[in-house]
Every structure is written in C-alpha cells, then in structure tokens.
C-alpha cells in the first residue's frame, strides 16, 4: 500500500455529534488506526483483563457496528481524494493484517 494520504470518516452511533475523522500518511497507517480504535474499545469494555485477543471477524463486527465508516484516499494522478466504502475498508484491513502475519 503506497504512501497515499488517507482520511477515515467515522460516525460511531446514530447521533450526528459522534461524527469524527482521523488522517494518516498511508492506507496502511489508517488500517492500524482502525485496529487501535477497536483495541481501545476492548480495553474500555474489559478494564480488568491484561491480555485481550480478537480475530478478524471480531474486527469486522466492530467495523460493521459503526453507524458510518468510509475512507478518502488521495490519488496523486488526479490530485484529489477518492471515496471508499466500508467494504473497501474491510478488504484493505484483511490484506493489511495478512501482510503483517507473514
């Protein structure tokens, strides 16, 4: 995944006040950022647990449970951001984690 500036747009609940964004220098860093958000949520829900594990399906459930999630990825060839949906994020996440596992 090349160094393409990526903005993650997220809304955690139906309340519009939960809309937020995070920006990253690359798609890979954005995927790490989404994982970190999920891990933070797990720690908040399980404060007494020292080691928390999860699998890709748990992460997908987190992604699918958000009211809205999308990514804007900068395309140098057209000098603009291209929008990507939740399914694209799930696909990129799978390939990102697979790459980290090897």
Domains of the chain (ranges plus CATH)?
6-101 (3.30.2260.10)
Burial class (CB in 10 A: 0-12, 13-18, 19+), 26: middle
Q: What is the pLDDT of residue 96?
A: 94
* pLDDT at site 52: 86
d(CA 23, CA 29) in angstroms, rounded, equals 9
Q: What is the pLDDT of residue 81?
A: 98
Q: What is the mean pLDDT of residues 34-53?
A: 92
């Amino acid at each position: 995944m090349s160094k393409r500036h990526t903005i993650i747009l997220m809304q955690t609940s139906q309340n519009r006040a939960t809309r937020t964004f995070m920006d990253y220098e690359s798609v890979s860093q954005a995927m790490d950022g989404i994982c970190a958000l999920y891990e933070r949520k797990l720690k908040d829900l399980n404060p007494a647990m020292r080691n928390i594990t999860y699998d890709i399906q748990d992460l997908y459930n987190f992604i699918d449970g958000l009211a809205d999630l999308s990514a804007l990825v900068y395309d140098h060839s057209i000098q603009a951001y291209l929008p990507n949906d939740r399914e694209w994020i799930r696909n990129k996440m799978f390939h990102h984690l697979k790459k980290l596992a090897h």
